[in-house]
């Protein structure tokens, strides 16, 4: 149980384009989903927290107009990187917390974004 | 500022030995504590969670929590080469956000 999927697993795009990443909880309802970014040899940095049906809460320094997060259902959250630039190249990982569970977060496999 | 500190390592242990990983945190209001394992290029995988002082054992893994000292550790018994990875300590504060340490890289040598 507690499986989280992400799609795509990797993406290469040109500078200035937008990229959408999907995060799905496959066998549970996720009341809260989290989006992280991880640069090489660094730890995970929380970007935003999203609750189903409400606006995402962004961490300080994260541009909400650049990183659009939608949590439309209890099993799906999306992150759209708008007007991507090479410095946005990173490993993006989502996690989900199950309804009624403890505080554990279950992570998706991640999406590696490369912006040329 | 919420801080979670880990020694970056690498920590090298021979196969079959006990690996001891440590983590300290700054906020006494911390509620829950987790250990994740992350292989290179992969996302984190939950190993252990611990909520109250003392030890919690699960197979070869033992998590230890001391809230008075603001310290949480992970012991891996009978270490295997497949345990070689980066181990992330995560701590929750009020509002349920996770704060991750920078991770300790563990190398288990055959």
pLDDT surpasses 90 at A17: yes
pLDDT for residue B95 is more than 70: no
Rounded Cα distance, B72 and B49, in Å: 11
Query: Which residue of chain A is at minimal alpha-carbon distance from B42?
Result: A109
Q: Could you tell me how many residues make up chain A?
A: 116
Residue B14 CA to residue A103 CA, distance in Å, equals 34
Residue B94 pLDDT class (50, 70, 90 cuts): low
Q: In whole angstroms, give the CA distance from residue B27 to residue B29.
A: 5
pLDDT reading at B105 higher than 80: yes
Of residues B37, B45, B90, the one with CA closest to residue A109? B45
For the stretch B48-84, pLDDT in tens is 999 999 999 999 999 999 999 999 999 999 999 999 9
pLDDT of residue A1: 65
SS3 A86: helix
pLDDT at A107 over 90: yes
Best of B9, B25, B43 to disrupt the A interface (most A CBs within 10 Å) is B43
Contact list in B for residue A35 (CB cut-off 8 A) is none
């Amino acid at each position: 149980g507690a499986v989280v999927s992400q799609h795509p697993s990797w993406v290469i795009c040109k500078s200035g384009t937008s990229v959408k990443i999907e995060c799905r909880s496959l066998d549970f309802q996720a009341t809260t989903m989290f989006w992280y970014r991880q640069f090489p040899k660094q730890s995970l940095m929380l970007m935003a927290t999203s609750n189903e049906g409400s606006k995402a809460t962004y961490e300080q320094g994260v541009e909400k107009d650049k990183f659009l997060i939608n949590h439309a259902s209890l099993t799906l959250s999306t992150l759209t990187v708008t007007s991507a630039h090479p410095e946005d190249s990173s490993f993006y990982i989502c996690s989900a917390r199950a309804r009624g569970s403890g505080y554990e977060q279950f992570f998706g496999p991640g999406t590696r974004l490369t912006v040329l | 500022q919420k801080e979670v500190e880990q020694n970056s390592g690498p920590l090298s242990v021979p196969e079959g030995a006990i690996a001891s990983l440590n983590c300290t945190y700054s906020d006494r209001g911390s509620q829950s504590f987790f250990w994740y394992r992350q292989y290179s290029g992969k996302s984190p995988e939950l190993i252990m969670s611990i909520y109250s002082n003392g030890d919690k054992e699960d197979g070869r893994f033992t998590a230890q929590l001391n809230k008075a000292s603001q310290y949480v550790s992970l012991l891996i018994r009978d270490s295997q080469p497949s345990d070689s990875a980066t181990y992330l300590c995560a701590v929750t504060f009020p509002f349920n956000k996770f704060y991750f340490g920078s991770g300790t890289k563990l190398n288990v040598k055959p």
